[in-house]
Amino acid sequence: MSTTFDDIQAREQQFVLQTYRRQPVAFVKGSGSRLFDDTGRAYLDFVSGIGVASLGHAHPGLTAAIADQAATLLHTSNLYFHPFQADAAARLAALSGLQRTFFCNSGTEANEANLKFARRYWHTLGAKERVGYVAVENSFAGRTMGALSVTWDPHYRDPFQPLIGPVTFVDPERPETLVAAVTDKTAAVIAEPIRGEGGIRMLPDRFVQAVKDVCATTGTLLIADEVQTGLGRTGHPFYFQALGWTPDFVSVGKALGSGVPVGAALVSERVAKTIAAGDHGSTYGGNLLACRAAAYFLEQLTDKGLLAHVQSVGAHFERRLRTLALRHPVVVETRGAGVMRGIELKIDATAVVEHAREHGLLVNRTATRVVRLLPPLTVETAEIDDAVDILDGIFASLPAEVGA
């Protein structure tokens, strides 16, 4: 195995398909909110594997659960029962109010499943013309053909046309575009309650209300893509609850396994009744390791006080970022909820991400000018202070003309 950065990079360049533009660092170890590179240098991790390491790195309880499961039984397939799927599904039902879970392996797959289930619902009801989707500008749903079709950014979509259709993208600043887009041929509206990849963008109240009204009056199904916002990250179990939506589908991933790949499509009972055996499937989906990790994470979230912890540190995070924004003219605004935060700048955020890394803080850039902060849900107040202090220093060191 390669152990130094140069060796790792050289071997990747030779053998790994070059679909990613990686930053020049290789991590070999983690602990809590910290990552360690191949030289032993520590970094404060406010990316958490893009919102995945919900319990932080090398969490002792999760590690023990995974190790125990690995030593017992990893995988048997969905041909047979095992003890952990219902455990994790029951916890998801209690958190979301949606009764049924289909387990898969990623957020993309969760969206893919829900897009399929929405069509299946109408097909079962005999409304076979209801096959269209309405999606939101600046949304991101994944890279498979279905999920990509409802992803907004044309850079992701255009090289792969034709995609699945019909899909109409609507502008949340103009709710009337939603009303016009939903027709008697629409199967579902899909929306992220806060658009994550799109720049931690909140939905305007009028659009939130329009989604509710349109779905209620037309019967159109609502898919809440909670892959990034769900499972405590915003301080709510799911952010659709804060918006007052009642979706028939919720897509989850990222935080669910805290690093063990697992996703889930949550489905209401009225839709579940229209799905038949054989309609969808996955070899790996919901295997013992994934469900054991998911059940462990969900127990921490609800029974062990993690949700309350996010609410408390999230409020502190918000206060610190508000003050930061007031101090630096380069900041346009800060947005988000809980420990899902974005700082929109007047400039491209690339340099800030690089400077932060040099100062031992990992953050990432999204939507060009937004610094995105997604620490583990277990992040401590003092770590938030350290991260904001580093950003404060970086913004202060930018040339005076920047953002003036």
CA distance 158 to 39: 40
Any contact of residue 198 with ligand PLP (CB under 6 A)?
Answer: no
Please state the closest distance from residue 372 (CB atom) to ligand PLP, in A. 10
Give the interface segment with ligand PLP, choosing from 80-88, 105-113, 266-274, 286-294 (CB under 6 A): 105-113
Any contact of residue 199 with ligand PLP (CB under 6 A)?
Answer: no
The CA-based angle 50-74-103, given to 5 degrees, is 55
Any contact of residue 239 with ligand PLP (CB under 6 A)?
Answer: no
Any contact of residue 197 with ligand PLP (CB under 6 A)?
Answer: yes
> Do residues 54 and 296 make contact, with C-beta atoms less than 8 angstroms apart?
no
| Binding track over 206-235 against ligand PLP, x by CB under 6 A | -------------------x-xx-------
Q: What tokens appear for 22 in the block?
A: 């990686």
Please state the closest distance from residue 216 (CB atom) to ligand PLP, in A. 24
Cβ-based nearer residue to ligand PLP, 340 or 394: 340
Largest CA distance in the chain: 64
> Do residues 231 and 255 make contact, with C-beta atoms less than 8 angstroms apart?
yes
Any contact of residue 314 with ligand PLP (CB under 6 A)?
Answer: no
Give the interface segment with ligand PLP, choosing from 11-19, 192-200, 331-339, 375-383 (CB under 6 A): 192-200
Cβ-based nearer residue to ligand PLP, 107 or 132: 107
Any contact of residue 107 with ligand PLP (CB under 6 A)?
Answer: yes
> 3-state DSSP call for residue 363?
coil
Question: Applying CB under 6 A, what is the total number of residues that bind ligand PLP?
Answer: 15
> Do residues 294 and 262 make contact, with C-beta atoms less than 8 angstroms apart?
yes
Binder to ligand PLP among 47, 114, 191, 192 (CB under 6 A)?
A: 192
Any contact of residue 141 with ligand PLP (CB under 6 A)?
Answer: yes
Q: Which long-range contacts (CB under 8 A, 24 or more apart) does 325-330 make?
A: 327/392, 327/395, 327/396, 328/392, 328/395, 328/396, 328/403, 329/403, 329/404, 330/395, 330/398, 330/402, 330/403
Please state the closest distance from residue 266 (CB atom) to ligand PLP, in A. 14
> Do residues 255 and 226 make contact, with C-beta atoms less than 8 angstroms apart?
no
> Do residues 45 and 58 make contact, with C-beta atoms less than 8 angstroms apart?
no
Any contact of residue 152 with ligand PLP (CB under 6 A)?
Answer: no
CA distance 107 to 112: 9
Any contact of residue 271 with ligand PLP (CB under 6 A)?
Answer: no
Interacting residue ranges for ligand PLP, rule: CB under 6 A: 50, 106-108, 111, 140-142, 192, 196-197, 225, 227-228, 253
